[in-house]
Each structure stands twice: as C-alpha cells, then as structure tokens.
C-alpha cells in the first residue's frame, strides 16, 4: 500500500533530511512516526503528499509509483489520501458543513451526493449539532474533528496525520485518537507523526522511529522511546 524504496531527500547539497529510507506499510495498518525535531518526519509526509520530490529512490502509494507521475495525476493521488494537520487549517469563512462539503466539491461530487455524505461524516465525528457553526465558534478539539471529517469525506484509503493532537489538551487528544482508531478499524490505513509519548505508549501500534534522517527502530507494537 505504501512503500519507500531507498528514498533520500536532500534539500540543500550535502544536507540529507532522509537517507536511504526503506519502509513498507500494509493496508489497514496504524503507524506512528516518531523522532525528535529535525529527524525527518515532516519530510516523509511531504513526499507522500507530493509536496516535495525525493532526490533518490522510489515511493509507491496504492500500487502506483508516485515518483515519476505526471502533474496531471497528482490530484488523483491526493484524492486517495486524507490529511489532518496540527493547526486544523479550516476555512474561516465557511461553516462546518461547508468546510467538509468543499472537499467534495473539489473532486466534482454532485450536490445531491454532498447533501447525503456530509451529515454522515459529521455524525461519525460527533459534530452534527455544529454543522452551521463557523470554526471560530468551536473548541480546538471540535475544529480538529471537523478537519478529520473533511479528511475522510471522500473515503480515502490512507489518512496522514501530522501532529494531530499537538494543540490539544490530553483529554481532548484522546477523543481525537478514539476517532482515528475507529477510522482505522473500518479499514483506513493511518500514518501519524507525533510527539505524544503517552498516546504512542498506550496505543501499542507500529512505531517507526527516525533519527537524523534514518529509521532507527521499526516495531510492531512499539513504544515512543526507551529513555524513561
């Protein structure tokens, strides 16, 4: 489903953000990417989203080599991958419903399909009662739930989450994790970069640890680190 084959990324000559990375992620896995600041987590995510190109190596996503595809096909890839960010990135002038609907409009869904599907995903994230509110009327946890609804509304088979709990208090962070766990249970592959030690240690999922651009640990039921 996701494969990094000898992938390296050099932003400036001689400075490697990723060095010969080999990662294989199967359909339905829940994977944490951990590592200190500068380890290469964001670079890995940007390569998957085609926001950056690898300097060397090959990346396979949903059986497609995304390293050498034409620009024309990039929207097609992004459709099969949902993304959630630490800072939510909602459109401030659109309501909750409109924010989620917008993701469907972009791919050309009919208004009938939008009216059917948006309430379903808002109910999945427990926000049916906030459909007509604006983002600035919501708590951080609620805003993140909107961004998750937006990320899954087009039924992606992969969900990428970059520090999704980074701006949230511990209780709210767990609410978000329960939703992500449910999405994963329904079959969506999840790749989540995080600094949340407690969450990683309690969830007991696969952990890939990066250090200075290389994979230093890859464990099936892993922990955040071994320093405590």
List residues near ligand ADP by CB under 6 A. Answer: 11-12, 17, 35, 37-43
Q: Given the complex with ligand ADP, which of 41 and 50 has the nearer CB atom?
A: 41
SS3 174: helix
Q: To the nearest whole angstrom, how small is the minimum distance from the Cβ of residue 149 to ligand ADP?
A: 25
Q: To the nearest whole angstrom, how small is the minimum distance from the Cβ of residue 18 to ligand ADP?
A: 8
| CA-CA-CA-CA torsion sign (157, 16, 201, 149) | negative
Q: To the nearest whole angstrom, how small is the minimum distance from the Cβ of residue 14 to ligand ADP?
A: 11
Q: Given the complex with ligand ADP, which of 38 and 187 has the nearer CB atom?
A: 38
Please state, in angstroms and as integers, the Cα–Cα distance from residue 219 to each residue in 24, 104, 118, 152, 209, following that order.
12, 36, 36, 27, 9
Please state, in angstroms and as integers, the Cα–Cα distance from residue 149 to each residue in 84, 112, 128, following that order.
10, 18, 11
Q: Given the complex with ligand ADP, which of 44 and 121 has the nearer CB atom?
A: 44
Q: To the nearest whole angstrom, how small is the minimum distance from the Cβ of residue 16 to ligand ADP?
A: 8
- Kind of pairing, strands 30-34 and 206-211? parallel
Q: Given the complex with ligand ADP, which of 18 and 61 has the nearer CB atom?
A: 18
């Amino acid at each position: 489903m996701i494969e990094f084959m000898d992938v390296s990324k050099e932003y400036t000559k001689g400075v490697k953000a990723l060095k010969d990375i080999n990662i294989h992620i199967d359909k339905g896995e829940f994977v944490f990417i951990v590592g200190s600041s500068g380890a290469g987590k964001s670079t890995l995510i940007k390569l998957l989203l085609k926001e950056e190109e690898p300097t060397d190596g090959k990346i396979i996503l949903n059986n497609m080599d995304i390293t050498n595809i034409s620009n024309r096909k990039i929207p097609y890839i992004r459709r099969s991958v949902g993304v959630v960010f630490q800072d939510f990135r909602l459109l401030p002038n659109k309501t909750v419903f409109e924010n989620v609907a917008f993701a469907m409009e972009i791919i050309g869904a009919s208004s009938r399909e939008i009216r059917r599907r948006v309430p379903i995903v808002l109910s999945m994230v427990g926000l049916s009662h906030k459909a007509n509110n604006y983002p600035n009327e919501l708590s951080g946890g609620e805003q993140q739930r909107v961004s998750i609804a937006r990320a899954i509304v087009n039924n992606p088979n992969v969900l990428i989450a970059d520090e999704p709990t980074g701006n949230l208090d511990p209780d709210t962070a767990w609410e978000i994790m329960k939703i992500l766990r449910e999405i994963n249970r329904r079959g969506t592959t999840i790749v989540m970069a995080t600094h949340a030690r407690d969450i990683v240690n309690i969830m007991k999922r696969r952990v890939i640890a990066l250090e200075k651009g290389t994979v230093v640990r890859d464990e099936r039921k892993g922990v955040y680190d071994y320093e405590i």
